[in-house]
Amino acid sequence: MAQLDYRTAGESHGQALIVLIEGAPAGLSLDTAFINESLRRRQGGFGRGGRQKIETDVVNILSGVRAGVSIGAPIAMQLANKDWRIDTAPPVHRPRPGHADFAGAMKYETDDCRSILERASARETASRTAAGAIARLLLREFGVEVVGFVSSIGDVQATIPDSVTPDALTSARDDSDVYCPDAAASAQMIDAIKAAKKDKDTLGGVVEVRAFGMPPGVGSCMRWQDRLETRLMGAVGSIQAFKGVEIGLGFGCARVPGSHVHDEMDFDPGRAHESGLGFSRRSNRAGGIEGGMTNGMPVIVRGAMKPISTLLRGLDSVNLQTLSPERSDYERSDICAVPAASVVAEQVVAFELARSLLEKFGGDTIDAVRASLDRYMASHRERLLNR
Burial class of residue 9 in the structure, from the number of CB atoms within 10 Å of its CB (0-12 exposed, 13-18 middle, 19+ buried): middle
Q: Is-contact 261 255, C-beta < 8 A?
A: no
Domains along the chain with CATH numbers:
5-385 (3.60.150.10)
Look at residue 52 in the predicted model and tell me its pLDDT.
59
Sign of CA dihedral 20, 53, 335, 251: negative
Residues forming a β-bridge with 242: 305
CA distance 387 to 378: 15
Q: Is-contact 348 242, C-beta < 8 A?
A: no
**Residue among 293, 139, 300, 288 nearest 217 (CA):** 293
Burial class of residue 330 in the structure, from the number of CB atoms within 10 Å of its CB (0-12 exposed, 13-18 middle, 19+ buried): middle
At residue 7, the 3 state secondary structure works out as strand
Look at residue 332 in the predicted model and tell me its pLDDT.
65
**Residue among 213, 156, 137, 134 nearest 373 (CA):** 213
Burial class of residue 3 in the structure, from the number of CB atoms within 10 Å of its CB (0-12 exposed, 13-18 middle, 19+ buried): exposed
* CA-based end-to-end distance of the chain: 36
Look at residue 362 in the predicted model and tell me its pLDDT.
86
CA distance 382 to 387: 9
Residue 252: φ, ψ to 5°: -65, -25
CA distance 188 to 60: 38
Which residues in the chain show pLDDT less than 50?
Answer: none
Q: What is the identity of the amino acid at 54?
A: I
Residue 237: φ, ψ to 5°: -65, -20
Q: Is-contact 263 283, C-beta < 8 A?
A: yes
**Residue among 218, 211, 154 nearest 348 (CA):** 211
If one counts every other C-beta atom within 10 angstroms of the C-beta of residue 171, the result is: 12
At residue 143, the 3 state secondary structure works out as coil
- Alpha-carbon distances, residue 306 vs 63, 96, 153 (angstroms): 36, 14, 10
Q: What is the identity of the amino acid at 335?
A: I
DSSP string covering 135-160, please?
A: HHHHHHTTT-EEEEEEEEETTEE---
- Alpha-carbon distances, residue 253 vs 72, 159, 294, 356 (angstroms): 42, 19, 18, 25
Going by C-beta distance under 8 Å and a sequence separation of 6 or more, which residues neighbour residue 172?
164, 181, 182, 183
CA distance 358 to 218: 9
CA distance 88 to 289: 48
pTM of the model: 0.94
Look at residue 1 in the predicted model and tell me its pLDDT.
61
